[in-house]
Amino acid sequence: MMSQWVDICNVSDLQPDSGVCALVDETQVAIFYLAEDELVYAIDNYDPFGKVHVLSRGMIGDIKGEPMVASPLYKQHFNLKTGLCLEDETVQVPAYGARINGERVEINLSGAGQ
Amino acid sequence: MSNKQTLVVIGNGMVGQYFLANLMSSDICDHYQVVTFCEEPIPAYDRVHLSEYFSGKTAEDLSLVAPGFFEENNITIHMADKAISIDSDSKIVKSEKGLEIAYDKLVLATGSKAFVPPIRGHDRDQCIPYRTIADLDGMLAAAKESKVGAVVGGGLLGLEAAKALQDLNLETHVVQFGPRLMSAQLDDGGAGMLKQKIEDLGVTVHTNKNTIEIVDGEHCKHKMVFADGTELETDLVLYSAGIRPRDEISTTCGLKIAERGGTVIDNHCMTSDKDIYAIGECASWNEQIFGLVAPGYAMARTVIDHLSEGELTFTGADMSTKLKLNGVDVASIGDPHATTPGSLVYTYQNGVDEVYKRLVVSQDKKHLLGAVLVGDASGYPTLSQYYLNGIELPENPDSLILPSRSDESVGLGPDALPMSAQVCSCYDVSKGDICNSIENGNTSLAALKSDTEAGTGCGGCVALLKSVLDCELEKAGIEVNTDICEHFPYTRQDLYNLVMVEEIKTFNELIKSHGRGRGCEICRQAVGSILASHWNEYVLKDQHLGLQDTNDTFLANMQKDGTYSVVPRMTGGEVTPDGLIAIGQIAKEYALYTKVTGGQRVDLFGARVDQLPLIWKGLIDAGFESGHAYGKSLRTVKSCVGSTWCRFGVDDSVGLAVELENRYKGLRAPHKIKFAVSGCTRECAEAQSKDIGVIATEGGWNLYVCGNGGMKPRHGDLFATNLDKETLIKYIDRVLTFYVRTADRMQRTSVWMENMEGGLDYLRSVVIDDKLGVCEQLEDQMERVVETYQCEWKTTIEDERKLKRFRTFVNSDKHDENIIFVEERGQVRPANMEEREHLKLAEMA
Ligand code: SRM
Ligand SMILES: Cc1cc2nc3c(=O)[nH]c(=O)nc-3n(C[C@H](O)[C@H](O)[C@H](O)COP(=O)(O)OP(=O)(O)OC[C@H]3O[C@@H](n4cnc5c(N)ncnc54)[C@H](O)[C@@H]3O)c2cc1C
Ligand code: SF4
Ligand code: FES
C-alpha cells in the first residue's frame, strides 16, 4: 500500500516530552514529542482498558530503553513504536507513522511506527 | 452432652484476654468449654496505652478483643459481673449477679488495683485512682471543673498520669512519698535528672511528702495536708502510688496469699489448689508481683502449656522498662540499684544536655546486670540485649554509655543475637519469629509490626526491630532496593537532597547528572513534585511539563470517560452567596454535574478538556482560585463553625482554617495533604483524621499530626498542646517541610510516621527541640513556598501558548464525539456502554 503522509500541524504545536491529539480522517491519533531528540511517535488515542480516548494525555518516558506512554486512567504502559501493551502482550493499540518534515509534523495511518 | 471440661477465667483484662486468645489457637482448645467473668462494663482493652485515651484514642481503639471473638470461639462472657466467691470443694464460682458456675479448672486473672493510701478524705469527690477507662471518664468529667490536679505517686504510672493531667490543661503537681521519682527503677543520680526534666515540662514535683489528710481547700476544691506541715491545694487528686493485687476472691476459698499480697503461684502458675491457676498482676511468684504486662503473658502461656502437659515453666521475668513520656527519655534495665554482690558501676553524667547513664556490670566486667538511662535512652535496645541474652560485654563496658565521639559504632549488630533472643518483650517476639515473618514476605517495618505484633506495645524495641529487618534483608540478598525506578539509583529522599544541595532546577539536569534514560512516569512525577516543593515554579513551565501526571498537566482530575472535574478552592469550606451563585451559573452554562464533596467544597464534573480554560476564566473572574484537587498537594482545610456561631466554640476555627489554607495552598508534597480545624473537643471538623489537625482548647490550640482517613484510617498523634497561633504555624511549617524532604514518593504522612525510626518522639525532637539543627532551614523553605504562591489556573489562562494544550485536537476544532452524557436526577452523567451503543445506533438511523 502506498504510504499516505498527512500534514498535521507545526512542530511548535506539539508539547515537549508530552502528547497532543490529532484527528486524521475519523481516527484520533496521539502524537508524542521527544523534544531533545526531535523525535515524534504516534499511536491510537483509544485506551483499550479505560475504553475512552485519552492516551495522548498520558505521561511518557522509557522502560528498558523502549519509549512508552502510561495510560492516564489505569497506568498500563504502551510501547510508542509498536503500540504493544507492556503489562498484557495480547493487547495492542495501532501504531502509526510519524515524522517531522521541516517545521511540519506528518502522520501516516498505514505505516506502523518508523 | 460433650465430654468437655469447664474452664472458668475470672477477669477479662489484658492477661485474661491474652490467655483466652492463646488457648483458642492452641491444640487443646477443643477440650474446654470456656466461661469468663468480666467485672468492667467493656471487655479487655489495652491498659498499657490507657493514657492515649486523652490524646485521641477511643475505647474501641484500645480494645484487645477482635470483633466476634467470643461468639466465634463459643466462649461465654458474663459482662459487668464480678465473681465473688469460690467453693473449692464443690468447685463452684458464684457471681455478684447470682450466677453459679461449676468448673473443672479455674484461672484467676483479676489483675490489681491502684493503691489508695488509707488517709482521711481519700474518698472525697474527684479523688480518683488511675487504672480503668471508667476512672478516666471520671477524670474527664472532673477536669472540666478543675484548674489544678495532683498525682499521688511519682513512679512510672504516676508520671504518665501527670502527663494526662497536662493534656487536660490542668496545672499539674506530682506528690512523691519518698525522695526519688521512679524509685523502683532509678538510682539517685537518674532520679535527680528525671526530676529536672519533668519540671522542664511544667509539672511541679514535690518529694518527701507524706499526705496525712485531704480536706476542703480555700481556693481549690481540696487541700492535701502533708506530715511536714506544708499543704497543696488542688481540684483533682489522682492515685497512682503503686498497685495492690486483687486477691479478694482468693481468700474466699483459702488460697495461699503472699505476705505482701498476691495469690501465691508455683513455676506452673498453679496456686495452692491444683485446679486453680493465677496469672498476671494478681499472682505472686517467689514473693514478687509483676506490674508489667509481659510477665503476665508469660504466665498465661505457662498455664496453657501446663494444661497441655508441656514442660514450660515461669521462673521470673525481666522488669526492664522504658517510660512512655513524650520528650522524656527514661529507661531502666535489670538491677539498676546494683544489689548483686560484687557488682561494679559506671556512671556518665552530663548536666549540660541533662543526660545521665549508669551501667551495673558483674565483678568480672563480662556481663551486664543493670542500667539506667535518663535523657537519652537510645542505648536501651542494645543494652537490653546484652542483659537479656547474657552477651559478653566489650572490653571497656563504659564505651556503651559514653558518647561516641569517633565513627566507631558500639551498637550490638543484630547478627550477634541468637535466634532465641527476645526482641520485643511486650509480645514475647524473638529474633527467630521476626526472621520467619520476614521470610514470609513482611519486608517493611509496618508489615512486620502488624504480623508479629512486635513493637506495638511500649514501642521500646522498634529501633532494634528495624535493624534486624535491615540486616536480614541484606543477608537474604533481598537487596533492599530503594531505588525509585530503573532511571535513578536513588531514593526519593536522595533525589531531594541532590536537588537541594546542587541547586538543580530541571528534570533533564538531574537525569543527565545522576540518572539514565529518559525517565518514566514514576521518576518524572517524583522529581516534578520535588522541584515543585523546593523551587515552587509554575508547574506547566516547558521544562516541567512532561513531569506532571495528566491531572497536573490539565490542572484538573480526569474522570472515567476522559472528561475532567473542576474544583475551585473554598478556604475552610467558607463560601459567599455570590460565590455560590457564580459557581451555579457556570455549572449551568456548561451543563456540569454538580456535587458537594467530602472536602467541604463543590466539584463540577463533565468538563471537556477544551472547556477547562473557559470555565476557569469564569471562576477566576468571580474571585475563585485553583483548589489543587488534582495535585499531590494541600487539598482542603476543613473547619467547623467555631466560636463565631457555635455555642460551644472555644476559638475561631473557621478563621484559623482559612488562614492555614491560604498559607499552605499550592504546597506540593509526596502525597496529598489534608487539614482540619475544630473549634472545641467535640471535633465536628474531624481534625484527628487529618494529616494536620488542630483543635481549640481553653489553653490554646492542640496540634495533631499524621492522621488520615481513606483505605487505612489512622488517628493523628497529639503532637503539642496549648499552642499560640504563632507557635502552631511554626510547628506546622517544620513538620510539613520535614515530611516533604524525607518521605518516600506517594507516602502519606501516616505511613511516613509509621515507618519513622523513633516515631512521634523523634519527630518531636526534630521539630520542637531542633535536634538536627534544621528548624530554621525548614521554616525558611516554607516561607519561600508561601511567598512564591501563584494560582496555576490564573497563570495558565493568561498565557496563550499554554492554552494551546487544552485543544481537543491540534488540527481540528471538533470535539471528542465519544464523550456522551445522559441525564439522571436532573443532571448529566457519563453514558454507560449499553447507552452509548444505543445512542450511536439512533444517530446513525
Ligand atoms: C470528590 C471527592 C469525593 C466526593 O465526591 O466527595 C473525592 C474524589 C476522589 N478521591 Fe478522595 N475524594 C474526596 C474526598 C476524600 C476524603 C474526605 C476528606 O478529604 O475529608 C478522603 C478521606 C480522607 C483522607 O484522604 O485521609 C478521601 C480519600 C481518598 C483516597 C485514599 C487516600 C488514602 O491515603 O488512603 C484516594 C486514593 C489516593 O489518593 O491514592 C482518593 C482519591 C480520589 C480520586 C482522586 C480518585 C481518582 O483518582 O480519580 C477522586 C477524584 C475525583 C475528582 O476528580 O475530583 N481519595 N477522599 C472528594 C473531594 C474532596 C475535595 O474537595 O477535594
Ligand atoms: C496507666 C497505665 C500504664 C501502664 N503502662 C504499662 C507499660 O508501659 N508496660 C507494661 O508492661 N505495663 C504497663 N501497665 C501495666 C499493665 O496494664 C498491667 O500489667 C496489665 O494490665 C495486667 O493485666 P491483668 O490482666 O493482670 O490485669 P488487668 O488488666 O487489670 O485486668 C484484670 C481485670 O479483671 C477484672 N476483675 C478483677 N476481679 C474480678 C472478679 N472478681 N470478677 C471479674 N472480674 C474481675 C478487673 O476489673 C480487670 O478488668 C500500665 C498500667 C496502667 C494503669
Ligand atoms: S470513595 Fe472511591 S469512588 Fe468515591 S470518590 Fe473516593 S475514590 Fe472515588
Ligand atoms: S518491647 Fe514493648 S513493644 Fe516491643
| DSSP per-residue codes, B594-626 | EEE-TTSSEEEEEE-GGGHHHHHHHHHHTT--B
Chain A residue numbers touching B811 (CB-CB < 8 A): 8-9, 22-24
Q: How far is the CA of B750 from the centre of ligand 2 (A)?
A: 30
Considering the four listed CATH numbers 3.30.390.30, 3.60.90.10, 3.40.50.2300, 1.20.140.10, the one that applies to the domain covering B318-412 is: 3.30.390.30
B551 vs A contacts (CB less than 8 Å): 72
Q: Which pLDDT score, from 0 to 100, does residue B44 have?
A: 96
Ligand with the closest atom to the CA of B597: 1
User: Is pLDDT of B124 > 80?
Assistant: yes
Q: How confident is the model over B660-684, as a mean pLDDT?
A: 95
| Owner of C-alpha cell 465430654 | B3
This model's pTM is above 0.80? no
User: How far apart are alpha carbons B324 and B460 in whole angstroms?
Assistant: 9
| Strand order across the beta sheet in which B5-10 lies | B76-79, B32-38, B5-10, B105-108, B276-278
pLDDT band at B410 (very low <50, low <70, confident <90, very high): very low
| pLDDT above 50 (res B409) | no
* pLDDT tens readout for residues B781-808: 999 999 999 999 999 999 988 898 899 9
Closest atom, ligand 1, to C-alpha of B565: 54
Tell me the C-alpha distance between B470 and B475, whole Å: 9
CA–CA gap between residue B422 and residue B431 (Å, rounded): 6
Ligand 2 pocket check for B424: Cβ under 6 Å: no
Query: How high is the pLDDT of residue B480?
Result: 63
The β-bridge relationship of strands B105-108 and B236-239 is unpaired
What residues contact residue B71 under an 8 Å CB cut-off, 6+ apart?
A: none
Ranges in chain B annotated CATH 3.50.50.60? 5-112+245-307, 127-241
Which residues of chain B does CATH 3.30.390.30 include? 318-412
Q: Give the atom of ligand 4 at the shortest distance from the alpha carbon of B455.
A: 3
If you search the block for the grid coordinates 483524621, which residue do you land on? Answer: B689
ipTM metric: 0.71
Cell of residue B655, nine digits: 478563621
Cα of B62 to ligand 4 centre, how many Å?
A: 16
The reported pLDDT for the residue numbered B149 is: 96
- Among left, alpha and beta (phi > 0; psi -120 to 50; other), residue B782 is alpha
CATH fourth-level superfamily of B5-112+245-307: FAD/NAD(P)-binding domain (3.50.50.60)
Ligand 2, atom 41, lies closest to the CA of B83
Please report the number of interchain residue pairs, chain A to chain B, with beta-carbon separation below 8 angstroms.
Answer: 97
Of the listed ranges A16-30, B249-263, B491-505, B596-610, the least confidently predicted one is B491-505
Domain A6-108 top-level CATH class? mainly beta
Question: What is the mean predicted confidence (pLDDT) over A56-73?
Answer: 91
- Res B478: pLDDT: 64
Residues of chain B with CATH 1.10.10.1100: 415-480
For chain B, percent of residues with pLDDT exceeding 90: 61
Angle B649-B666-B670 (CA atoms, 0-180°, nearest 5)? 100
Tell me how many degrees the CA angle B616-B618-B620 measures, rounded to the nearest 5.
65
B598 C-alpha to center of ligand 3: Å?
A: 10
CB atoms A63 and B804 under 8 Å: no
Q: Which ligand is nearest to the CA of B132?
A: 2
Residues of A in contact with B610 (CB under 8 A): none
Q: What is the mean pLDDT of residues A96-114?
A: 84
Q: What is the dihedral of CA B43, B49, B50, B56, to 10 degrees?
A: -100
Q: What's the Rg (C-alpha) of chain B?
A: 31
- Which of B183-197, B700-714, B729-743, B829-843 is predicted least confidently? B829-843
The tens digit of pLDDT for each residue in A44-53 reads 999 999 999 9
Average pLDDT over residues B421-448: 84
Give the span between the Cα atoms of B136 and B151, in whole angstroms.
14
Asked whether B49 lines ligand 2 (CB < 6 A), one says: no
Residues of chain A with Cβ-Cβ distance to B549 below 8 Å are 59, 72
Band of residue B564 on the pLDDT scale cut at 50, 70, 90:
very high
| pLDDT in the model for residue B817 | 85
* Across B324-328, B330-334, B449-453, least confident range: B324-328
**pLDDT value of position B54:** 84
Cβ distance A13 to B520 less than 8 Å, yes or no, reads: no
Are the beta carbons of B10 and B37 closer than 8 angstroms? yes
pLDDT digits (tens, 9 = 90+) for B576-611: 999 999 999 999 999 999 999 999 999 999 999 999
* Buried b / exposed e along B287-303 (16+ C-beta atoms within 10 A): eebbbbbbbbbbbbbbb
User: How buried is B483 (Cβ within 10 angstroms: 0-12 exposed, 13-18 middle, 19+ buried)?
Assistant: middle
* Dist CA B248 CA B241 (whole Å): 20
Looking at A39-43, B244-248, B453-457, B564-568, which range is the least confident one? B453-457
Ligand 4 atom nearest to CA at B322:
2
Mutation for testing the A interface, residue in B553, B555, B806, B809 having most A CBs under 10 Å? B809
Residue B129 has a pLDDT of 95
Q: Cβ contact (<8 Å) for A54 and B805? A: no
- Judged by a CB distance cut-off of 8 A, whether residue B810 touches chain A is yes
The number of the ligand 2 atom at minimal distance from the alpha carbon of B426 is: 11
Average pLDDT over residues B684-709: 95
Highest mean pLDDT among B46-60, B155-169, B639-653: B639-653
Alpha helices in B31-107, H assignment, sequence order: 59-62, 69-72
Report whether residue B748 contacts ligand 1, using a CB cutoff of 6 Å: yes
The ligand that comes nearest to the alpha carbon of residue B594 is: 1
Q: What is the mean pLDDT of chain B?
A: 90
Residue B514, pLDDT above cutoff 60: yes
Q: Residue B286: its pLDDT value, please?
A: 93
Average pLDDT over residues B817-835: 90
pLDDT at B408: 41
Report d(CA B153, CA B825) in Å as an integer.
65
Q: What is the Å distance from ligand 4's center to B456 Cα?
A: 6
Q: How confident is the model at residue B685 (pLDDT cuts 50, 70, 90)?
A: very high
Who has greater pLDDT, B182 or B55? B182
Closest CA–CA distance from residue B813 to any residue of chain A (Å): 10
CATH number of B631-773: 3.30.413.10
Nearest alpha carbon, ligand 1 atom 16: B598
B560·A68 Cβ contact <8 A: no
Grid cell in block for residue B685: 471538623
Q: Which grid coordinates are listed for B501?
A: 544541595
**What is the reported pLDDT for A113?**
47
CB B651 within 8 A of CB B642: yes
Query: What is B127-241's CATH number?
Result: 3.50.50.60
- Is the CB of A61 less than 8 angstroms away from the CB of B518? yes
Ligand 4 binding pocket (C-beta < 6 A) is B 424-426, 454-461
- Pick B811's closest partner by Cβ from A18, A22, A67: A22
pLDDT, residue A48, reads: 94
Tell me the C-alpha distance between B600 and B569, whole Å: 10
Question: Which CATH architecture does the domain made up of B415-480 adopt?
Answer: Orthogonal Bundle (1.10)
Q: List the domain boundaries for chain A.
A: 6-108
